[in-house]
Amino acid sequence: MKIICIGRNYIDHAKELNNPVPENPVFFLKPDTALVRKNRPFYYPDFSEDIHYECELVVKINKLGKNIHKKFAHTYYNEIGIGIDFTARDLQSKAKAKGLPWEIAKAFDASAPLSMEFIKKDEFHDLNNISFHLDKNGETVQEGNSGDMIFDFDEIISYLSIFFTLKTGDLIFTGTPAGVGPVKVGDELEGYVGDRLMLKCDVK
Ligand code: MG
């Protein structure tokens, strides 16, 4: 199982980090050891002093595919969940400045809390109008809508499948909207799809 994450998929987030809006999806991977399941806590790691939350819709792949045409991409997933792409912003900024890979800042243990529950695709009226938000200590800090993604689910799947064989159970984090920010020990994060509480993550 692999976790593929899309970067800069919302214009307002690309702008807040002073990144150009990409022509093709920007992506990176996390290993399976990044997952945090069952609403377990996130333990703030010693190697960073600036861990940021990035709340994202997550697509779960349900069959094997390679070179998937965009018009068939919708048949490769059935369920949508929500996750947090924890990012060591201090390490990422250093890596970016030197043109180095991002894994040190993105792929570390526990960097990908994932909702226990996934919502079946047909429960949504419109996949291009899925609202989601992240609360920190009871206050909403990020609000997004799938309709604001630069590349939609089908375009992402089609593009990624040029490079990777997608397999059942693979997870795609589809990018974060604006409002990313730091966490500290004691923070309580909650991820919602619509009004539905899907993910809880306490920072310890
Ligand atoms: Mg992200």
Say if residues 190 and 196 touch (Cβ distance below 8 Å): no
| Distance (Å) from CA 202 to ligand 1 centroid | 19
pLDDT in tens, 118-170: 999 999 999 999 999 999 999 999 999 999 999 999 999 999 999 999 999 99
| Distance (Å) from CA 174 to ligand 1 centroid | 7
| Distance (Å) from CA 121 to ligand 1 centroid | 22
| Distance (Å) from CA 18 to ligand 1 centroid | 15
Task: Catalogue all structural domains in the chain, each as residue range(s) with its CATH number.
Answer: 3-202 (3.90.850.10)
Ligand 1 ion: Cβ-proximal residues, 5 Å cutoff? 54, 85, 176
Please give the average per-residue pLDDT across 161-182, as a whole number. 97
Reported confidence tier of residue 12, pLDDT bands at 50, 70, 90: confident
Question: What integer pLDDT is reported at residue 130 of this predicted model?
Answer: 98
Checking if the pLDDT of 7 tops 90, the result is yes
Q: Which residue has the tokens 């214009």?
A: 11
Cut 0.85: pTM above it: yes
Torsion angle of alpha carbons 43, 114, 84, 45, nearest 10°? Answer: 20
Say if residues 39 and 66 touch (Cβ distance below 8 Å): no
Helix or strand (DSSP H, E) at 59: strand 55-61
| Distance (Å) from CA 144 to ligand 1 centroid | 13
| Distance (Å) from CA 124 to ligand 1 centroid | 23
* Separation of first and last alpha carbons in the chain: 27
Checking if the pLDDT of 11 tops 90, the result is no
Q: What count of Cα atoms within 13 Å lies in the side-chain half-sphere of residue 117?
A: 10
Question: What integer pLDDT is reported at residue 20 of this predicted model?
Answer: 81
Task: Report how far residue 163's alpha carbon sits from residue 67's, in angstroms, rounded to the nearest whole number.
Answer: 8
pLDDT in tens, 15-50: 888 888 889 999 999 999 999 999 999 999 999 999
Question: What integer pLDDT is reported at residue 14 of this predicted model?
Answer: 74
Q: Tell me how long the chain is.
A: 204
The single-letter DSSP state of residue 106 is: H
| Distance (Å) from CA 123 to ligand 1 centroid | 25
| Distance (Å) from CA 5 to ligand 1 centroid | 6
Question: What integer pLDDT is reported at residue 72 of this predicted model?
Answer: 98
Task: Report how far residue 174's alpha carbon sits from residue 105's, in angstroms, rounded to the nearest whole number.
Answer: 18
| Distance (Å) from CA 137 to ligand 1 centroid | 21
pLDDT in tens, 62-101: 999 999 999 999 999 999 999 999 999 999 999 999 999 9
Task: Report how far residue 151's alpha carbon sits from residue 148's, in angstroms, rounded to the nearest whole number.
Answer: 9
Per DSSP, the three-state class of 78 is strand
| Distance (Å) from CA 126 to ligand 1 centroid | 23
| Distance (Å) from CA 6 to ligand 1 centroid | 6
Residues 6+ positions from 114 with CB-CB distance below 8 Å: 35, 36, 37, 58, 81, 82, 83, 171, 199
Reported confidence tier of residue 173, pLDDT bands at 50, 70, 90: very high
The alpha-carbon radius of gyration of the chain (Å, integer) is 16
